[in-house]
Structure 1
């Protein structure tokens, strides 16, 4: 038996996204529903246990797959024209509107995992977001990476992706254990955006018109929660993300795995059932 209602989100350009709506099961429902925006190449399945748990805390929840990923991939990935810019300008706005329609709320709380928390600055209906909690949220700037990822990222971005674009027509991230394979433009933008500080800010004036840069207009609170053993969302890269929102109240929450009884948390484990004792940490920062 499904714990969710399967939905189709229709974006402004007519593209359809696969989504799941979870209804609050607690007696007292929270005013703002939660929108879960996924990490690059990660499907909504990954967040199901967390979404179900949030419903027990009184939250209505919507999760979805970005275009070109999971159930929002229509046809071969090599033929997908999806881009990260599309995710921010088209997919997230449509998901916000769908969740507001389903709940009749005025605003949503955005829980963004990695890339899902990096794109608010190009979301046209950003004023409908009451708060952002960016889990493993940072810019992923290559010079701010740590450990093995600092060595592997340049190879993936500068060698694997360009070659695969020619030979396969997509970014082969599945083969290296990094989620679903990526549409070619998603892979290319990921490499471009992480090569310099600021991530999506590098698209402004290029793929994103200056008039559609909303970073300086955003005033909702933004909290980034990351782990000390995260090789991508390092302290330097978290700071790099939060500096992009000069008018927003920002907060950095650093988690040490040992304090919660874990050998590691890294970039991905905060949403795993094995790490569900971290979920109340996320939830306590959802209040507006």
Structure 2
């Protein structure tokens, strides 16, 4: 594994872990019987973390993909994990900067290290939303999207007591971040999503309130661009995930009316984050989708 540290214009460092596929001929997924041909036609999976989840948490996922013949990269979201500095009162980045500045810088490194590979973005939770925004900007420069436990924070996508909580919670979080100068999630609890930029939290709260991607400083109409996307998308929901129930994931997919969408629900009750520690079933489904979407050259065994 190689780690490359990307420096973005505000001086922040954004590390990206690069894990090449194993073998030089063909990697065979023993369970599915898929043989992924090395060389031409290969993809590189770029894993985009969820909010407050460090990149190291996804190394197991990346290594499982590499074992099956898929090059992989895991980026660090700005201000999270090994990225520096940590968010503070001076942090002024949100959805737009992450999608329009950080992801392009990381993808430049990925393309240099894995030339000739087609990038596939594998976004978890907020990472799925950011992956969609990046895809809206570059369209044909990526091969597809995998959205894992990723949904819209629209209260209509939730039931029971979760619905009123989603109607109030994002606004309270945005106000708290504005007063404190940043979101102090590291002081709240393990589920507080870590310390975050106030702009990022404001963008998330606006998305929840309006149901639209309208990030601060946007230079394009993301909503309109998303409707133009014509690419394969795999949406994976996880049993036991209270943060992104299936209806929330479906609300997010409504923004992609022209994409070719495949849905899969993992019946294992792993919840919102733990799936990454027991990712065999998820990786097998990704491999099957890559084959079905003809994003990799395969041969039956």
Q: TM-score range by the shorter chain?
A: 0.7 to 0.9
Aligned with residue 62 of structure 2, among 27, 40, 51? 51
Structure 1 residue 210, shift from structure 2 partner: 3.8
- Cα distance in structure 2, aligned partners of 1:65 and 1:266: 22
Q: Which residue of 1 aligns with 2:288?
A: 284
1:247–1:164 CA distance, 2 compared to 1 (3 A):
closer
Q: Which residue of 1 aligns with 2:210?
A: 196
Q: TM-score, normalised by structure 1?
A: 0.84
Q: Which residue of 1 aligns with 2:2?
A: 5
Q: Which residue of 2 aligns with 1:128?
A: 141
Per-residue Cα deviation, 1:130-165 (whole angstroms, up to 9, x for no partner): 011111122121231246654544454233441343
Tell me if the contact between 2:236 and 2:264 (Cα under 8 Å) persists in the aligned partners: yes
Going by fraction, where is strand more abundant, 1 or 2? 2
- 78-87 vs 39-48, which deviates more? 78-87
Partner SS for 1:62: strand
- 227-236 vs 30-39, which deviates more? 227-236
Count of aligned pairs: 273
Per-residue Cα deviation, 1:49-101 (whole angstroms, up to 9, x for no partner): 11122111111111111222222232553332221221111222222222111
Tell me if the contact between 1:106 and 1:128 (Cα under 8 Å) persists in the aligned partners: no
Q: TM-score, normalised by structure 2?
A: 0.80
Partner SS for 1:177: coil
- Cα distance in structure 1, aligned partners of 2:112 and 2:142: 14
- 230-239 vs 5-14, which deviates more? 5-14
Q: Which residue of 2 aligns with 1:261?
A: none
* Residue 183 (structure 1) aligned with residue 214 (structure 2): no
Structure 1 residue 226, shift from structure 2 partner: 0.2
* Residue 103 (structure 1) aligned with residue 114 (structure 2): yes
Q: Which residue of 2 aligns with 1:171?
A: 183
Aligned with residue 125 of structure 2, among 114, 134, 140? 114
Per-residue Cα deviation, 1:15-42 (whole angstroms, up to 9, x for no partner): 5411111111134236111100111121
Q: Which residue of 1 aligns with 2:217?
A: 207
Partner SS for 2:170: helix
* Residue 143 (structure 1) aligned with residue 156 (structure 2): yes
Over aligned residue pairs, what C-alpha RMSD do you find?
A: 2.5
Q: Which residue of 2 aligns with 1:65?
A: 76
- Cα distance in structure 2, aligned partners of 1:135 and 1:105: 26
Unpaired stretches in structure 1, ≥5 consecutive residues: 258-263
Tell me if the contact between 1:93 and 1:125 (Cα under 8 Å) persists in the aligned partners: no
1:160–1:14 CA distance, 2 compared to 1 (3 A):
closer
- 214-223 vs 173-182, which deviates more? 173-182
Tell me if the contact between 2:49 and 2:127 (Cα under 8 Å) persists in the aligned partners: yes
Partner SS for 1:209: coil
Partner SS for 2:6: strand
1:144–1:211 CA distance, 2 compared to 1 (3 A):
closer
Q: Which residue of 2 aligns with 1:254?
A: 265
- Cα distance in structure 1, aligned partners of 2:233 and 2:88: 33
Tell me if the contact between 1:96 and 1:128 (Cα under 8 Å) persists in the aligned partners: no
Tell me if the contact between 2:143 and 2:231 (Cα under 8 Å) persists in the aligned partners: yes
* Residue 81 (structure 1) aligned with residue 85 (structure 2): no
